[in-house]
Amino acid sequence: MATLSGKATLSRYMDLPQGERVQVLYTWIDGTGEGLRSKTKTLETEPKSASDCPIWNFDGSSTGQSSGDDSDVYLHPVALFRDPFRRGNNKIVLCETLTKDHQPTESNKRRSCAETMRKVVDQHPWFGIEQEYALYDGDGYPLGWPKKGYPGPQGPYYCGVGTGKVYGRDVVEAHYRCCLFAGVKIAGTNAEVMPSQWEFQVGPCEGIDMGDHLWVARYILHRVAEDFGIVVSLDPKPIPGDWNGSGAHCNFSTEVMRKEGGINHIHTAIKKLEKCHADHIIMYDPKGGKDNERRLTGHHETSSIHDFSYGVANRGASIRIPRQVDEEGKGYFEDRRPASNCDPYSVTERLVKTVCLS
Ligand code: ADP
Ligand code: MN
Ligand code: MN
Ligand code: MN
C-alpha cells in the first residue's frame, strides 16, 4: 500500500481550490517583545492593503499581554504581505497590539516609532538591518555540531561552502525565496563566522518600513525552520566562549548623508551618538542592555558595551563607516551595537531621535 508522509500528504490538501475567499494570517509581537504569534481569519475578498483587514483581537492572557479576567487585546493590521506558505491570494498581515483603551501594549514599540518617523519624513531616513541568527536542532544543540565537544575553531565557516563548513543552507534558501515572494525587502544573505550561524539583510527601508519588514522576515524564518524541524535562535551570544555572538547591525542614512558632501553629516551624526551611548544601549536589546553584555565584549568583532568608538572599516568599533562611503564622501554608517534579538522599532526610533531630532 502506497502511503504519503508528512508534508507530502499535506500538499494534497493544499492543492484544493479555495474559492473566492482568502486566508489572512494575523501576526503580532507577544509580551516578551521577542516572540511572534499568529492566527488566521477568512476574508470574503482579497485585501489590497492592511487597512482592508478588519481590526481583530486575541487572548492576551496567553501571551503575557493582559490578565485572564480582562483578556482581550486588539490587533490593528499595519502592514500587508503575500503569504509564501499558503500562496495564492492569501496574506500575512503584521499587527500592532492595543489595550482595551486603545493604548499600545507594553511590547508594542511600533506606535511611538511611527510617530517619530512621521516627524522626520522630509529627511528620508533609510535603514538596513543585518539579522544574524543561529540554527539549532530539535535537541536545542547548534545544528550539525558534534553532540560531545565542539566543531573546529572559527575560520572556514564565514561565507563557507562544502560539507563540514555549512549547516542548514536549505533553511536559508527557502527563507530567501519566501521573503522575495512575500514582498519583504530582503537585501541578501551569508553564512556567518560561527558554524550554523547565518545572516540575512533587510533594506534599505524608509522609516517605519524597517521594523515592519524585519519582523515579518523573522516570522517567515521561524516558519520555514519549523518545516525542517530546526529551531532559530536570536540569542545574542548563543554559545559562550570563543564563538561569535549574533547582532543586528543597523545601517543608517538620511537624504543629506547620501548626497555630495554627505560624509560631513555622517560625522555630525556620530558626534551626537557619542553623547548618548548609554541611552542607545538600553534600547538595543529587549533587556535594556543585559543581553548585549554577553555579546559586546570587545572581542569577536564587537566593541565593549561600556565605550563608544567609531572608525572607517573598523569592525571592532561601535560605529563603522564603510570604506567605500569614506572614499566616495557620502552614503551611510553602520551602528554595530544592536543585538540580534533587538526590536527594530526601538533601534530605528532611537537613532532618529538622536541623529535627526536633537
Ligand atoms: P556588512 O558589510 O556590514 O556585512 P551588509 O552588506 O551585510 O554589510 O549590509 C549592509 C546593509 O546596509 C544592507 O541591508 C543594505 O540594504 C543597507 N544599506 C545600503 N545602503 C544604505 C543606505 N544608504 N542607508 C541605509 N542602509 C543602507
Ligand atoms: Mn553583513
Ligand atoms: Mn554579519
Ligand atoms: Mn555589518
- Among 62, 91, 108, the domain-final residue is 108
**Residue 21, pLDDT score:** 98
11 domain-assigned: no
C-alpha cell at 97: 497590539
The verdict on 100 and 146 lying in the same domain is no
User: Rounded to an integer, what distance in angstroms lies between the CA atom of residue 229 and that of residue 200?
Assistant: 20
Q: How many domains does the chain fold into? A: 2
Mutate which of 193, 251, 301, 319 to test ligand 1's pocket (most atoms within 8 Å of Cβ)? 251
pLDDT of residue 223: 97
> Mean pLDDT for each consecutive 10-residue tract of the chain (358 residues)?
72 93 98 98 98 96 86 95 98 97 96 98 98 94 93 97 96 98 98 98 98 99 96 97 97 98 98 98 98 96 96 96 98 98 98 97
Nine cell digits for residue 77 = 493590521
Q: Secondary structure of the chain in the HEC alphabet?
A: CCCCCHHHHHHHHHCCCCCCCEEEEEEEECCCCCCEEEEEEEECCCCCCHHHCCCEEEEHHHCCCCECCECEEEEEEEEEEECCCCCCCCEEEEEEEECCCCCECCCCCHHHHHHHHHHCHHHCCEEEEEEEEEEECCCCCECCCCCCCCCCCCCCCCCCCCCCCCCCHHHHHHHHHHHHHHCCCEEEEEECCCCCEEEEEEEEEECCHHHHHHHHHHHHHHHHHHHCCCEEECCCCCCCCCCCCCECCEEEECHHHHCCCHHHHHHHHHHHHHHCHHHHHHHCCCCCCHHHHHHCECCCCCCECCCCCEEECCCCCCEEECHHHHHHCCCCEEECCCECCCCHHHHHHHHHHHHHCC
Cβ–ligand 1 distance for 332 under 6 Å, the answer: yes
* Helix 110-119 and helix 344-356, axial crossing angle in degrees, nearest 10: 30
Distance 250 CA to ligand 1 centre (A): 8
Q: Does the C-beta of 192 come closer than 6 Å to ligand 1?
A: no
| Same-domain check for residues 352 and 204 | yes
CATH number at 231 reads 3.30.590.10
User: Is 2 among the domain residues?
Assistant: no
Nearest C-alpha neighbor of 124 from the set 287, 256, 271:
256
Domain-terminating residue out of 108, 137, 164: 108
Stated pTM of the model = 0.97
Spacing, Cα 26 to ligand 4 middle (Å): 31
Give the end of a domain, one of 63, 80, 108: 108
User: CA dihedral defined by 95, 100, 106, 110, rounded to 10 degrees?
Assistant: 30
Grid cell digits, residue 147: 553532540
Instruction: Measure the CA–CA gap between 222 and 230, rounded to whole angstroms.
Output: 9
Domain range spanning residue 93? 21-108
- Does residue 9 sit within a domain? no
Whether residues 136 and 209 share a domain: the answer is yes
Report the candidate in 137, 317, 341, 142 with the shortest Cα–Cα distance to residue 241. 142
Nearest ligand 1 atom to the CA of 201 is 14
Q: Check whether residue 202 and residue 317 sit in a common domain.
A: yes
**10 within domain boundaries:** no
282 domain residue, yes or no: yes
Q: What is the rounded CA–CA span in Å between residue 333 and residue 249?
A: 10
CATH number at residue 84: 3.10.20.70
| C-alpha of residue 216 to centroid of ligand 2, in Å | 19
Ligand 4 geometric centre to CA of 201 (Å): 9
Q: Smallest Cα–Cα separation from 306: which of 288, 318, 314, 315?
A: 318
Q: Tell me the best of 133, 192, 201 to mutate to test the pocket of ligand 1, counting ligand atoms within 8 Å of each CB and taking the most.
A: 201
Long-range pairs for 293-298: beta carbons < 8 A, 24 or more residues apart: 294/236, 294/237, 294/240, 294/245, 295/236, 295/237, 295/245, 295/246, 295/247, 295/339, 296/337
Specify the residue with its C-alpha closest to ligand 1, atom 15.
128
- In a shared domain, residues 145 and 39: no
Q: What is the pLDDT of residue 347?
A: 98
Same domain, yes or no: 294 and 201: yes
Q: How far is the CA of 139 from the centre of ligand 1 (A)?
A: 34
Q: Give yes or no: residues 91 and 130 share one domain.
A: no
Ligand 1 in reach of 251 Cβ (< 6 A): yes
Q: Are residues 241 and 168 in the same domain?
A: yes
**Residue whose C-alpha cell is 534599505:** 204
